[in-house]
Every structure is written in structure tokens, then in C-alpha cells.
Structure 1
């Protein structure tokens, strides 16, 4: 199978003096899943999904499997459901740490080793969506906790260790050379799931490429989850988003250690829409991921659509554009670096190209 897609987002920031006058986003292209898999047995797709989605592959597999079960009128056992949630949480933790460290912070030898150890341990949990022994789970969680402590994250609700790579990075971001505008923030929640999946199956790729809810494009991801747990700042700059990401890392580690409480963000939800029609939502690292399927009587794929968090956050009228348009930035490299940091804080699941142009000099 030859899969050629443009896995990059092009972002053009139009400047008028020291103010961002406009932001243009050229989205990535996405795999046409119905065209690729129509007529194939649903059960044959699970091994293929990690080839299509290298990031958050566990979340995609859980979303697809849950959607198929809903279409078939089946329901996962409590033990299987619990294992899937644990796998998704572990993968979310891995992806959050990846976005914090890989390619963004200069790490010494000890910090780099801690990142590798944490990712290896969380992959043990994330790679076992149908179950892992309690002994192995405890060993992996202990390794994750020790690695996070080595990176400066001592525990849930505790301050970063002074002098750690993360503490230094947060201090640097707090002095960022960008003043984001005051904007009305809206967030995607589990209460929107049925509306989203109904529109997804009805609109197909046209909807998933540019999703909306009654004309609004809500934000999804770490900042949205943070907002659901209490009041948030009216201006969400890269420093605030970084701190929310660090807090979630500590929270997820604490949840994995306890292992007996419910998370409050609807980690995995499935919906039977009609006979042969099902959908699922999974709260992954970057936000709410949706899969929707239609099966024939032999459980072959008739329709298969997905909607990733990146399509909300990097919508042409979405949260990133709202956070940048009207912002005031310092001239030169420092201001551009601050814009790049804010774009990175939205953590797209693909790479991005950032171009700055002066209005009137196209």
C-alpha cells in the first residue's frame, strides 16, 4: 500500500508593524480512509492503523475498536475497558513528555536518560491495550515516577525542582516577547461527542477537514482539559500552556500510580448510532479524537471517517488563529521565536512551517 500525504501545516503570519494583522493556515492532507479500506473486514484494519498514525497510535486503535464494537452492538468487558483507558493514559503521558522535551529543550545526559526511561516504561503500558499484569504495571509506573522526578516533576501539585531543565524553560517562557490578545475561549467536551460524530458521518472529509459546531471552532487538548477543572487565564500564552502541560503530566502519573479512580475527561466513549453504525471518542494527548464507522452485514467497511484534534486547533478560524491575530510582538528574531513557541504549544500531530510576511509585501 503506497500512502503519500502532505503531513505538514503551512502557517503564514501577516505583520503590520509590531502587530499580527492576520494568520493564514494551509492544513495538512489526510488519508482517505473510506477509499483505502471500503470492502475490507473491520478486524483486518487494527494492525494497519499504526502505519497510518505513528503518533497516538494506541488512541487510534482504541477509537476504531470501540467504534466497531458499537456498530456491532457489542460492549467491551469492564476489564478490557479499564485496560484500554490505562493504555491511552500511558500513551498520552508519553506524547506530552515528547512535546515537552524532544527537539525543544537542551538536555544533559541525565535528563535525556530520564526521558528515554519514562517513554520506555509508558510504552509498556500503552502497548498493552488488552491487559497487562499488575506486577508489570506497578514496575512501569514506578519507573515513570522516578524518571519524572529526575526531570524536575516531583509530584502532583508540587513545584518544579529548582534548576531543572523544565524550571529553566518555564522561566524563559514567562519572559516571552509576545502579548496575545484577549479572546473568548471555547472548548470541546464529551458533551459535544454525539453532535460531532453525527456531523462527521454526514459530511465526511469535507467536515473532518474543517470541523465546526454551530459556527464555532472550539479548542481541544491540554488547555481545554485544564479549563474544565477550574478558571483559566483570559490570555493563554505559551508559558501558561506549558505549565498546564506539566501539571497534566504529574496528574497522569499520579493516576497511573493509584490506578483506582476515574479521570474526569471521558478518556474513552463509544456510541451506537444505528445497526451497523458506531462511533467513538478518545481523549488523547492533543485532544479529542473521533472515529466513526459504517459496516455492512458481514462487518465489512462501508464508511470510515476520523477527526483528529489538530483539525480543530489549526482550523483557519480556530484557536491558534484567534490566539495570534491582534497579538503584539517584539521586532526581529525574539518576536518570531515567541510566535513559534505559541504555535508549538498547540502541539500539532504533524510538522509545521512558519512564514512571516509584512502586509503589502506579498
Structure 2
């Protein structure tokens, strides 16, 4: 963060390094990559497996049976719920005994909902949902109201959320949608890492993730959201996801799992995971071996050098001292990056 007095004059983001998956797996059978993905991607590993499997099937001209697609969506939703819940506590709030046990219970129960390609038996599914609902209740999250209980630890966390920037720029809404998929996957397969490292849609860098989903549902006039508002949106979605897993009472956004055939031996898929829309694209040879494999994670949009986070920070006015820096840190954390981050503050005159 480059500061001119109390104003953020500029923001520079140094990107993370990404594994060279095409170089690692070129020439190998397409199916051989599937069991490796959970070791490559420790977060949202189910979403990565579903995205890759769906892209591979599209490249081969195959479509999953409705029951198999349903089991994949259930697995993705279960993982999204646990990832959002973990993000509320890990690194944000100290876990007391009750909270730690409840978070652990949700994560254990979600593993019982079924795998990427196999649904859990009905009795086991119901048992898992009951365990999730009880644990969320202990945390103060109501699946019926899709909200948190007053007086709960989460309510205190929202109330004490390291507050707002003194003044924040007005940001025009721009959100990633299902309608953007075809353009994104075509460019991903054509341009590879040059595109996935700095994606755009005709110069537009939209936001993806919980806040984008919430804003689209409520048709918000602005995409800006302070950390407390983004925290509330995450809590509400956890409740909504639990309700969907329980009895489908809440409508999911369209295209939780979508796949696209891009030509002979070429396929792609998009999966709506915890942090936003995840893309995989693959090209196979006539023997079913990997010629090209690319992926694009939600963090590359939200933490783009000219993306949503930068637009919400550049030109903002900070409170003096530690309070202002804490407000920036809270806003960055509310975008929920899939990797760790650190912040540095410099005076613009020293650039």
C-alpha cells in the first residue's frame, strides 16, 4: 500500500507462484491426474476434482448421468460450506472449546455426504445433515433463517470486525457469471498461463465469491462491501447451504457445476466453490493423454493487479495509525484469498 498522507495512493500485489501442471503431466493418461489433485490443492480439493473430471469428460464427448452430477454438486456444496465456516474462525477468531468442536464436527460430517462420484446412502446423508445442523446451531448459525443468533460468538465477531475505512471509493458492480464461462475457458485453453495469471473479460476484471453471489441475489447497486457486510454474507450463505443439503429448500445459483466441449479432444468446466468460480480446461490426444491442462482460481480475479480488491482500496482514506492498517487487513481478509498474505505500507513519496 502506497500512502499519500491518509489516502491509499496505489496498491501493488505480488502474485503467488503456480505449479506448472502441463509440464508436469503432459503425455500422461488423463485419469492419472485425478487422484493427484487433492495433494496439489489442499483447499477446495473436491471442487478441483469435480472441475477436472467434468472437463475431461467433456473433452472425451461424455456426459455424467443425472444422479452422478447430483452427487458431484452435493460434494461441492458440502466442501463450500466447510471452507466458508473454516474461514470464519481460522485466522480470524480464537477458537474456544465449543467452537473448535463444532467446526470439527461440521468438517467431519461433510465428509459423510458422499464422494465426487458416489452419493451417500440416504440414512448416512440424513445423519450428516443432522450433525451439521446441530454444530451450526452451537456456533449461532441458523439454517432456517440463514443468519447468526444475537449474542453468539459470531455476532460479537461481526460487531468487533476491524472496522471500516474512513472513506471508501464508490465501485461500480462487476461480477463473474455463468454467461462468462465460454469466453474464459476458450481463452484459458488458447493462452494458458499468460491468461490465468492475469485474466480479464475485454478489460473487465469482475469479482467472484460469496459477496458476488450475495450481491447478484439481492441486485445490489454497488459491489463495495465493508468487512462486516462481507462477513454477514458468508454466514448467511453457510445457513443457506445447510438448508439446501437438508431438503433443497434454498435455490442454488445456476451452474454450480458446468462443463463445455470445445472441440475434438478439448473440454472445460466451471465449478462455483467457496471463493468463487473455478475453471479447468484440458486438451487430450487421440489416446486420451494430456496435451494441455490449465486452471484458473477465483483468487486470480479478486486479487488481480487491477481487480476488485484494488478498486475497493485505491483512493480510500484510512484512520490514523494501527486502526487504519487493521481496517485494510480486515478488508483483504474478507476477500478470502486461498493463500496466505502479508501487507506492507509505504509513503508514496518514498517510491
TM class, shorter-length: over 0.9
Q: Which residue of 1 aligns with 2:152?
A: 164
Q: Which residue of 2 aligns with 1:228?
A: 216
Query: Which of 47, 55, 64 pairs up with 1:59?
Result: 47
Q: Which residue of 1 aligns with 2:318?
A: 329
1:125, distance to aligned residue in structure 2 (A): 2.3
Q: Which residue of 1 aligns with 2:263?
A: 274
Secondary structure, aligned partner of 2:130:
helix
Query: Which of 304, 309, 312 pairs up with 2:298?
Result: 309
Name structure 1 gaps, 5 residues minimum: 1-12
Structure-2 change in CA distance of 1:325 and 1:126 (3 Å): farther
Q: Is residue 249 from structure 1 mapped to residue 238 from structure 2 by the alignment? A: yes
Q: Could you list the per-position Cα deviations for residues 274-298 of structure 1 after superposition, in whole angstroms to 9, with x for gaps in the alignment?
A: 1100000000000000000000111
Q: Which residue of 2 aligns with 1:36?
A: 24
Q: Could you list the per-position Cα deviations for residues 179-232 of structure 1 after superposition, in whole angstroms to 9, with x for gaps in the alignment?
A: 321111200001000000011011110000000000010000001111121232
Q: Is residue 218 from structure 1 mapped to residue 241 from structure 2 by the alignment? A: no
Asked if structure 2 preserves the Cα contact closer than 8 Å seen for 1:46 and 1:61, the reply is: yes
Asked if structure 2 preserves the Cα contact closer than 8 Å seen for 1:124 and 1:140, the reply is: yes
Distance (Å, rounded) in 2 between the aligned partners of 1:359 and 1:197 = 38
Which has the higher mean CA deviation after the structures are superposed, 312-321 or 149-158?
149-158
Q: Is residue 86 from structure 1 mapped to residue 74 from structure 2 by the alignment? A: yes
Which has the higher mean CA deviation after the structures are superposed, 271-280 or 172-181?
172-181
Asked if structure 1 preserves the Cα contact closer than 8 Å seen for 2:106 and 2:131, the reply is: yes
1:160, distance to aligned residue in structure 2 (A): 2.1
Query: Which of 13, 17, 25 pairs up with 2:13?
Result: 25
Secondary structure, aligned partner of 1:196:
helix
Q: Which residue of 2 aligns with 1:15?
A: 3
Asked if structure 1 preserves the Cα contact closer than 8 Å seen for 2:112 and 2:128, the reply is: yes
Asked if structure 1 preserves the Cα contact closer than 8 Å seen for 2:25 and 2:290, the reply is: yes
Q: TM-score, normalised by structure 1?
A: 0.93
Q: Could you list the per-position Cα deviations for residues 308-347 of structure 1 after superposition, in whole angstroms to 9, with x for gaps in the alignment?
A: 0000000000000001111111111111111001000111
Distance (Å, rounded) in 2 between the aligned partners of 1:326 and 1:178 = 11
Considering only aligned residues, what root-mean-square deviation do their CA atoms show, in Å?
1.5
Distance (Å, rounded) in 1 between the aligned partners of 2:266 and 2:308 = 31
Asked if structure 2 preserves the Cα contact closer than 8 Å seen for 1:93 and 1:252, the reply is: yes
Q: Is residue 49 from structure 1 mapped to residue 18 from structure 2 by the alignment? A: no
Structure-2 change in CA distance of 1:241 and 1:233 (3 Å): farther
Distance (Å, rounded) in 2 between the aligned partners of 1:227 and 1:253 = 20
1:265, distance to aligned residue in structure 2 (A): 3.4
Secondary structure, aligned partner of 1:254:
helix
Distance (Å, rounded) in 2 between the aligned partners of 1:336 and 1:330 = 8
Distance (Å, rounded) in 2 between the aligned partners of 1:356 and 1:173 = 21
Asked if structure 2 preserves the Cα contact closer than 8 Å seen for 1:122 and 1:144, the reply is: yes
Distance (Å, rounded) in 1 between the aligned partners of 2:254 and 2:317 = 34
Number of equivalences:
350
Q: Which residue of 1 aligns with 2:83?
A: 95
Secondary structure, aligned partner of 2:11:
strand
Asked if structure 1 preserves the Cα contact closer than 8 Å seen for 2:173 and 2:221, the reply is: no
Secondary structure, aligned partner of 1:354:
coil
Asked if structure 2 preserves the Cα contact closer than 8 Å seen for 1:295 and 1:302, the reply is: yes
Q: Which residue of 1 aligns with 2:119?
A: 131
Whichever structure has more strand as a proportion of its residues is 1
Q: Is residue 141 from structure 1 mapped to residue 129 from structure 2 by the alignment? A: yes
Q: Could you list the per-position Cα deviations for residues 145-180 of structure 1 after superposition, in whole angstroms to 9, with x for gaps in the alignment?
A: 111111011234354222211100111128435432
